[in-house]
Structures are given as C-alpha cells and as structure tokens.
Amino acid sequence: MNADSFKLILILGVLIMMSAYFSATETAFSAINRIRLKSMASNGNKKAALVLELVGNYDKVLSTILIGNNIVNIASASLSTVIFVRYFGNAGVTISAIVMTVLVLIFGEITPKSLAKEAPESFAMSSASLLKFFTILLTPLNYFFSLWKIVLTKVVKFKKSRGITEEELITMVNEAARDGELEKHEGELIRNAIEFNDLNVADVLTPRIDLSAVSEDESIESIHKLFVESGYSRLPVYRDSFDNIIGVIHLKDFFLRTSDQPSTFVKPVLHTSDKQRISRLLHLLQENKCHLAVVTDEHGGTMGIVTLEDIVEEIVGEIWDEHDEIIQEFEKIKENVFLTYGSASIEKFFRLLDKDQDSDVATVNGWVIRQLGRWPMAGDVFEFENLTVEIIEVEDWMAKKIQVTVNELTRDNSF
C-alpha cells in the first residue's frame, strides 16, 4: 500500500467518524430533556446554556446536521469507490458499496445513535461547540432551506401545537416516578398540584350530616361541652336551623370571651357554592382571613362546610394533629381486597383501583347508591366491571364501610 492510498483510507476513516458524530448529535438533540438543561444552565453550566441556545433554533440545527451527514456519507462512498477500484478494478464498485454500507450502518448510524440515546444531555453538551461552528459554516445552505420551509408551510397547513397538556404532564411525572427520578411522595405531590384546579368544593366538603354546630341561643355550658366532645377548634353557629349558618366560634375566642352572650364572639363566615373551584375558594379564604366556609345548595340550604385544611390536604395529603382520630379511608385487607369508607372521595377510590372513571357524585357512598338504585343495606353485593362490592356496615342510611374485591379480568372468547 503506497502513501497515497494510506492517506485516502485515513481520510475515509475521518469521514466515517464525522458521520458518527452527526448521527449521534441528531439523536442527542432530539432526545434531550430541556427542563434538566434549564436547571443546569441556571446553575451556571455554560455548555448547557449553549445547547439550549441551539435547541431554540432547532430547524437550523437539524438542517446543519442533515446537510453535514449527507456530505460526509456521499464523500466517504465516493472515496471508498476510488480506493477499491484502484485495487479490484470494476469489481471494486460492488465491493465498495457492500463494505461502506456495513461500515456506515454499524459505525456511522446504529452505534453512535444507541450511545447518544443513553446520555443525550451529556453528548449534546460535548458536541455543542463543534455543532455551533458547523451551523455558522453552513449558514448559506441553512438560509436556502429556511426559505424552502416557508414555501412548504404556505402549501401544507399544519395545526398549531397545543403545548404540553395536563394529561401529558401527569404522564411525564408518572414516568419520572417509575424510573426512580422522583420519590413516590414527590410524584404524588406534583400530581395533586396539577389536578388541584380541577377540583370543586363538592369534592372536599364535610357533608351536613357530619357537622357539629351550635345555635346562637346555646348556653355557654353547652358550647363548652361540644368543643370538648368534638375536639374541633371552630364550630359553626346557626339561627333557627342548620340551613341558616350565620357565623363561626373559634375556641380561642370562646375562652377569652368578655361576655356570656355567644353573639359577642361569633365571627362572620364565608358562603360558597359546591360548584366553586377550590383554588378560587382558597384565595377567598386567604383574602378574608377565614379558615372555614359554608357550602350552600341552589335552594339556599346548607350542604356542609369546607375548611382551609380540607383544601390544603388535596395537595399535601391528610393532615393529622394530636387530637384527631386517625382513619384510613382506604385499607388493603389482603391481596386484591380493600376496605373503604362511604365518605371517601370517589375520585381517590377509582385512582386507587387504577380505573379511568368519571362520576357526577363526590363520595363512594354516592356511587354505591347510584349503582344500587336505592339506599344501601348491610350485606348488599353488586358487581361493577371486575369489582365485587359488598356493603359491610350502614349508618343513617349511608354505606359506612364497604369491601371491594378486585377480580381478575377474563377474556371473552365468544364470537
């Protein structure tokens, strides 16, 4: 092998390396995590900032990569043909095509793309400087292709991107939690925050039947007794009936009272609709420096109450203090068998069972009544999809405890 052939082979090797570089760069820039790069750039990583700059003009970057890759692949194929024809004559054309196909496929495409996909951010940052140089070098060609793209967009109409939807964002969080990039509680916190604005007051209220309240004419002794028995720090105050709640008594105000007339230490209370978004109610409670709102129906009757704690729990989960009786709304008894309370959220219930269901009721008890078509009775059993639901305990016409068995899905082989 003479010196001239050796130089050609050396150039051919460089061209294949460049093919590998462009192929890997294309994969890396299409698979990078922009959020991760933004975090790195905000911490002073200049390479991450350069990658973000290039990604910001992705069309130009992609044109540069494709132009560069095609140039080096065509050049390597031509050079290979010259080398093999020199040694094998006319048969060298066929040999060159076979050899270059194998080399480019293995070393110029599959291998670099596979490696770049494993660590796209690292590779993108290491290749960003050279890619910036090629982007500037190929500016005339990039300008031509940008004009061609404008022509294409005039001819072919594309729908505008919607951006990231809520469902897609939740999927991203689920994937991050599954891959171990997020802790389980972190993923749950993020999901709750995303879904927070979708919840209405009806989803979080304490129903009327569970309320502890006092009449405005109640004696001091009775109020004191109810504070002790209920363990609550605030009690709604009604006039004549529960449908006319006029205020709230705070435990601190009760013990610091200067009079034995409840009206002197009753604070005003907010009223809201069960259709109100809890995100909006949260702002109203903050603005009015209130911790409790009364939920009224369309007829002006009291449906229940919602507290600041109820709203915050939708993001951070259940908050228990030293006086609370800890109740697990959902309890796993054994494999595929769960115990739940009728007052539990139907949305959380379906989420626990990994079911994509929409319901116009707020609680499991409401769903049970809807399925039975009547008031529940202890011992009632019904089937819902692959669930066997049994009413264990009933109190005041409400299903208090419910057992749910998840059955294996059977395949329907009928024709």
Helix (H, G, I), strand (E, B) or coil at 71: helix
What amino acid occupies position 143? Y
Question: Each residue of 106-155: pLDDT tens digit?
Answer: 988 899 899 888 888 888 898 888 888 988 888 888 788 777 777 777 77
Looking at residue 361, its pLDDT comes to 76
Q: How far apart are CA 236 and CA 250, in angstroms?
A: 9
Residues 6 or more apart in contact with residue 331 via CB below 8 angstroms: 338, 339, 340
Tokens coding 143: 């300008």
Q: Give 206's strand partners.
A: 305
CB 237 within 8 A of CB 266: yes
Q: How far apart are CA 324 and CA 336, in angstroms?
A: 29
CATH of 330-406 given 3.20.20.10, 3.30.70.1290, 1.20.140.10, 3.30.465.10: 3.30.465.10
Q: Please give the order of strands across the beta sheet that includes 270-273.
A: 206-207, 302-307, 292-296, 270-273
330-406 matches 201-316 in CATH topology: no
Residues 6 or more apart in contact with residue 295 via CB below 8 angstroms: 201, 202, 205, 271, 272, 273, 274, 302, 303, 304, 305, 306
Query: By C-alpha distance, which of 246, 404, 240 is closest to 333?
Result: 404
Looking at residue 355, its pLDDT comes to 76
Between strands 206-207 and 214-215, the pairing is unpaired
Residues 6 or more apart in contact with residue 268 via CB below 8 angstroms: 247
Looking at residue 411, its pLDDT comes to 42
CB 28 within 8 A of CB 106: no
Looking at residue 413, its pLDDT comes to 39
Q: How far apart are CA 107 and CA 23, in angstroms?
A: 10
Between strands 292-296 and 302-307, the pairing is antiparallel
The single-letter DSSP state of residue 257 is: -
The single-letter DSSP state of residue 67 is: H
Cite the DSSP H helix spans in 161-303: 166-178, 184-195, 220-230, 251-255, 278-287
Helix (H, G, I), strand (E, B) or coil at 400: strand
Low-confidence stretches of the chain (pLDDT < 70) are 1-2, 157-163, 179-182, 258, 318-328, 357-359, 409-415
Looking at residue 414, its pLDDT comes to 35
Phi and psi at 5, nearest 5°, equal: -65, -40
| Whether this model's pTM surpasses 0.85 | no
Q: How far apart are CA 199 and CA 204, in angstroms?
A: 8
What amino acid occupies position 178? R
Q: Give 272's strand partners.
A: 295
Between strands 398-406 and 337-341, the pairing is antiparallel
The single-letter DSSP state of residue 110 is: I
Terminal Cα-to-Cα distance of the chain (whole angstroms): 72
CATH of 201-316 given 3.90.230.10, 3.40.640.10, 3.10.580.10, 3.40.50.12140: 3.10.580.10
Spans of all domains in the chain: 3-155, 166-198, 201-316, 330-406
DSSP line for 364-392: HHHHHHHHHTS---TT-EEEETTEEEEEE
The single-letter DSSP state of residue 340 is: E
Q: Please give the order of strands across the beta sheet that includes 381-384.
A: 330-334, 337-341, 398-406, 387-395, 381-384
Looking at residue 181, its pLDDT comes to 66
Tokens coding 294: 């009364």
CB 393 within 8 A of CB 378: yes
